[in-house]
A and B are shown apart, each in its own frame.
Chain A
Amino acid sequence: MANTKFIKSEFFFEEDVRESVAEVPVDKHQPWPENEKLKVVGKEIPRIDGYDKTSGTALYTFDINLPHMAHAKILRSVWPHARIKSIDTTQAENLPGVLAVITHKNIPEIKWFEDSFLFDTKIRYEGEEIAGIAAETEEIAEKALKLIKIEVEELDFTVDPGQAMKETAPKIHEGGNIVGGNPFTYERGNFEEGIKNADAIIEETYSTQVVVHNPTEPHCSVANWDGDKLTVWDSTQAIFTVRGVVSRALNIPENNVRVIKKYMGGGFGSKLAGGKYTVIAALLAKKTGRPVRLTLDRREMNLAVGNRPDSVQSLKLGAKKDGTLTAMSHYAYGSSGAYQSGAGCSWPFRTVYQCPNVKVEEYTVYINAGPGRPFRAPGHVQGTFAMDSAIDLLAGRINMDPLEFRLKNYAEKDQVYNIPYTSKKLREAYEAGAKAIGWEKRNKQPGVGTGRYKTGIGMGTQIWWGGGGPPAYVTLKLNRDYSVEVLAGSQDLGTGTYTFVAQVASEVLEIPMERISVILGDTGVVPYGPPSGGSVTSPSISPAVRDAAEQMKQKLMKAAAAVLSLKENDLVYKNGTVSSKSDPSKSIFLSDIMGKINEPVLVTTGAREANPEGYMIQTFGAQFADVEVDTLTGKVRVKKIVAAHDIGRVLNRTLLENQFHGGIIQGIGFALMEERIIDGNTGKVLTTNLHDYKLPLITDMPEIEVIIVSEGDPMISNTGVKGIGEPAHIPTAAAIANAIFNATGVQIKSTPMTPDKVLMALSQNS
């Protein structure tokens, strides 16, 4: 690696601020000009893995089939809360074809969440792991699951966070049901004072549901031991996290664990954590002496591998007649599931709009249900829905256009840390989005339309970090035949990482895309990079790729100088050829340089530079929804979404659009149809298949227009890229809710805004 130094760098991942000292390059590269002047970056380039994925040859973990491989299944609790008294696995073990059965009785204690173990004798949710079975076939393993006899003491349970917060609720952990024992609180200014100064005050409670990631590829692992060395193929967003989890669980050094993920069928946050299934597969592989594949089924995925926590949010907002926000308070609680996760959702509330007096109190609550995991912008989706619904209500109170209201309270700097942004083009996003949707066509008075179908237009504002940061490394290998391999410690979830990595390398080295291959997702091969979450991948990895490629270019120039006996500053690099500026007849192609210096492969390692100190990096955006409400049925049809965002530099317009489409349509799913439903009387999940858990289909998609108002942000990194995966998804539900409000004059305060809710709200209003 080139010259580096260690400095403090802040890094936002999902909801966490991670302050670290990071190794970063000393030399910064000149910022790139706008995309128009670039050759490869920013262009509409088909993804480089398109062939694999359309031909059926792309190999996912789900498809890995090793010689002599055994198949494993997990026995999961049918009880929401219980204590295991006894387990008898004799019958299961005797079933022909069964190779191994593991329970808490025959494996070492492996610590897992908080006060629990891999196989715990206390069951805290339906779907919790009790035993693992390896067999010749998956069917035999499934059959054997039913032969395990378990005696339990059933415990009272609670599956509603509001109820779980009460003193009388059954305790899921010794310390009570409030995660951390206390709420998260935040205060600036004087809320009470601010409310006193308000001309209009609204006070409303909004609620959002639990939704489940449901990526198409199941969570699955294939584990294979060679002596002490374990190789794990895992459908994961975070190879290094999985490696750490497995190594700690099995008490073996990290170099003995190799985690591989080439292709994966989506994650959306549910594959950011190391899974019990991976460790169970490894334990069974050890025990059977055979490779083991463990694949979860759809039911298990809806019970046990994460969800977006629900929320109940009580908001009180005050504004002056001229629209100035004077005070905002946010009291909220949401369910963590049976183990610790984050249900906090107040970040947008604290920071999107300028307001001097803000008060927040929020609780994350244990319930007897599957633990939450980050799901595409944790906290922000539910928080923005409530916040922007309330903003529209308040704007209506003072007869102000909701967009004008937002502009009136535009935050010029970060409201929490009181520091400037590296860049903020939200105003431009508001303007461009409003123009594209035809904001002036909205009902001046909500609900004034007549007839069966009422239409309306609404908007929501998006904020999210997405700036990435160190540590993130890339190794670049230049072959003498003018071809390149780029190795990055990242994973492509379907987001296009493979493609943009190649684009950045191609841009710098001026080597065609076809001659660049990208290797990701293999801890045995790639340098370290962050988990693929938090929209940090492109902002962290792309600058490291550029750094590695620029170093390679410099290396070639240096070598050429030596080979040609010229001064470095007299040389120029173009399309793989280094030539003299003063004497263009003197030039040498990189293959020849490498021949002269006897190097078949040149290697450089690039790193992500530090984020600037004293600045806040955020992505911004606004989405506008045009909806039609069928007043006879309560069915909402989203006709159009305009998404206008500031996300730094666009790396690939095609992939970017696709990401936005996905985020927006998932937003429609959250807004209108998806919901995990638990039966309160039994504590059991009812929505465990893809019919009862409704995901959007092609027939649910609206027209979508994506507008990017930003160019590269040079303060962040050498590529000026911010992330887009989460920003695309955050404001959709809020925009739809406000459009429904604008169409009908009725605000639906709870998601999903299903026809029954809308219809009942309309009928109560009429």
Chain B
Amino acid sequence: MKNFKYIPAESLEKASQKKDDSVLMAGGTDLLGMIKDDLLTPETVINLKSLKELKNIRYNAGKGLEIGALATITELAENSDVQKRFPVLVQTCKEIASPQLRNVGTVGGNLCQRPRCWYYRGEFNCLRKGGDTCFAVDGENKFHCVVGGGPCYIVHPSDLAVSLLALDASLEIFSNGKLKTVPIDDFFILPEQNETKENILEPGEIVTKIIVPEIPAGSKCAFIKFKERASWDFAVVSLGILLNTNGSTIKNGRIVFGGVAPRPWIDTALNTKLTGAATDEKNLKSLADSALLEAEPMSKNDYKIILVRNLLKQALIDLSKN
């Protein structure tokens, strides 16, 4: 690895005043890979883990859950309030990477990790690295996006992003000396906005907290991740679902897809159809079949659309049962 200076962050203020050639490190599980692969060549690595206050996980009845951005995935999964009230997050955590990485990787880091696209990670001067070309388009695009792409066709790698978006979470961001709160839906961006980053963070901005509202009474949640290998694998596709049914109809709900787009994806047309939809199997099937109608698959990834629809179908049926 390239030589760099290492500074434990003294405070959020100091950390955010970093120079351009400095990088902020949370768990470091993604960052070190980036440095090892020469995708980043920082002069200084600022370790945020010294900011202990960013590790807290707090639950307030009625208000919901606050997850410090530096809480590890394991800490989130083992928190008793989370286990009791947000089992979908525990479910999500168990699907992330491997036990060893969950012991080190943080919630904030999981949301801010860079894409796994093999062109981006490899020796290709691709769009996301400031080059001219997305090599996936007429290349090996089996794992790339089917919707929301262009000019770059990555998929967003975070599992927690999918669940947290389904739960309508917000992020607290330290920005220019102040804290601001942003709905997670507004946090992630598409390549058409900026193909070199996946979220709105500007240099020096730091995600400090994830705020998850209470799951509305009567709602059911699920996170489903499909991966090629039984463990330690990124999502081929994933689903985060929040569903509130009222006997034979869906009162309201939210469906988020992972692995299909350069950001956790909300299929607006599909989500609009949820409210008031009948929960008989036939209707749920046709609902699921209407997912990703706007998708534009590439040469090797049209299977993802079938996969999403099949998994959604099953999930909706399962969640609609009592």
Distance of A231 Cα from B231 Cα, bound (Å): 42
B-contacting residues, A679-695, CB 8 Å:
679-682, 684, 686-689, 691-692, 694
* Distance from B168 Cβ to chain A, minimum over Cβ atoms (Å): 27
Which residues in B have their C-beta under 8 angstroms from that of A691?
A: 116, 232-234
Contact indicator per residue, chain A 663-699, by CB within 8 Å of chain B (1) or not (0): 0000000000100010111101011110110101111
Contact with A along B115-130 (1 / 0, CB 8 A): 0101101111000000
Q: Given A633-B311, A680-B139, A681-B139, check contact A688 B229 (CB 8 Å).
A: no
Compute how far the CA of A755 lies from the CA of B229 in the bound complex, rounded to whole angstroms.
Answer: 10
Quick check: A697 and B306 within 8 Å, CB to CB?
no
User: Cβ of A756: which chain B residues have Cβ within 8 Å of it?
Assistant: 142, 236, 300-301, 303-304
Let me know if B187 is at the binding interface, CB within 8 A: no
**Given the contacts A679-B135, A755-B236, A686 and B119 also touching, CB distance less than 8 Å:** yes
Closest residue of A by beta carbon distance from B138 = A681
Within 8 Å by CB of B122, from A632, A686, A754, lies A686
A692 to B233, CA, bound (A): 9
Contacts of B310 in A (CB 8 A): 632-633, 759
A681 and B135 within 8 A (CB)? yes
Starting from the known contacts A633-B310, A754-B228, 8 additional A-B residue pairs (CB-CB under 8 Å) come to A679-B139, A680-B139, A682-B135, A686-B119, A691-B234, A694-B228, A700-B229, A759-B303
Chain B residues with Cβ below 8 Å from A633 are 226, 307, 310-311
A694 touches B124 (CB 8 A): no
A-B contact pairs, 26 of them (CB 8 A): A139-B1, A139-B3, A632-B310, A632-B311, A633-B310, A635-B226, A673-B228, A682-B124, A682-B139, A684-B124, A686-B119, A686-B122, A687-B118, A688-B122, A689-B121, A691-B116, A694-B228, A694-B233, A696-B229, A698-B231, A699-B230, A699-B231, A754-B228, A755-B303, A755-B307, A759-B303
Contact with A along B222-265 (1 / 0, CB 8 A): 00001011111110100000000000000000000000000000
A601 sits at the interface (CB 8 A): no
A684 touches B233 (CB 8 A): no
Verify if A634 is at the interface (C-beta below 8 Å from B): yes
Closest to A637 in B: B230
Q: Contact check, A760 vs B229: say whether CB atoms are below 8 A apart.
A: no
In this assembly, does A763 line the interface, its C-beta being within 8 Å of a C-beta of chain B? yes
Complex CA distance for A688 and B37, rounded to whole angstroms: 11
Provide the bound-state CA to CA distance between A490 and B266, in Å: 60
Q: Is B286 an interface residue (CB 8 A)?
A: no
**Is B233 in contact with A759, judged by CB distance below 8 angstroms?**
no
- A697 to B123 Cα, complex, angstroms: 28
Q: Give A residues with C-beta under 8 Å from B.
A: 78, 139, 452, 632-635, 673, 677, 679-682, 684, 686-689, 691-692, 694, 696-700, 754-756, 759-760, 763
- The total number of A-B Cβ pairs within 8 Å is 82
Residue B140, interface by CB 8 Å: yes
B1 to chain A: closest residue by CB: A139
CB-based contact A694/B123 at 8 Å: no
A500-B232 Cα distance, complex, nearest whole Å: 36
Partner of A452, one of B121, B303, B314: B314
Q: Give the distance in Å from the alpha carbon of A471 to the alpha carbon of B307 in the complex.
A: 56
Q: What is the minimal beta-carbon distance from A154 to any residue of chain B, in angstroms?
A: 14
| Contact in complex: A763, B306 (CB < 8 Å) | yes
Complexed CA–CA distance, A357 and B290 (Å)? 54
Shortest distance from the beta carbon of A400 to any chain B beta carbon, whole Å: 34
**Chain B residues in 8 Å Cβ range of A632:** 307, 310-311, 313-314
Rounded to whole Å, the gap between the CB of A757 and the closest CB of chain B is 8
Min CB distance B294 to A, Å, is 20
Q: How far is the CA of A696 from the CA of B229 in the complex (A)?
A: 7
> Which listed residue (A677, A688, A759) contacts B307, Cβ 8 A?
A759
B122 to chain A, nearest CB (A): 6
Q: Which residues of B contact A699 (CB under 8 A)?
A: 229-231
A679 touches B232 (CB 8 A): no
Question: Whole-angstrom distance between the alpha carbons of A427 and B26 in the complex?
Answer: 61
A635 to B228, CA, bound (A): 7
A78 and B123 contact, Cβ closer than 8 Å, known pairs A632-B314, A754-B228, A759-B303: yes
Please, which residues of chain B bring their CB within 8 A of the CB of A696?
A: 229
A686 with B231: in contact, given A632-B310, A681-B139, A759-B303 (CB under 8 Å)? no
Residue of B122, B135, B236 with most chain A CB atoms under a 10 A cut-off: B122
Bound-state CA distance A452–B306 (Å) is 14
Q: Which residues of the other chain, B, contact A688 by a CB distance below 8 angstroms?
A: 122
Q: Nearest Cβ distance between residue B232 and chain A, in whole angstroms?
A: 6
Residues of B within 8 A of A687 (CB): 118
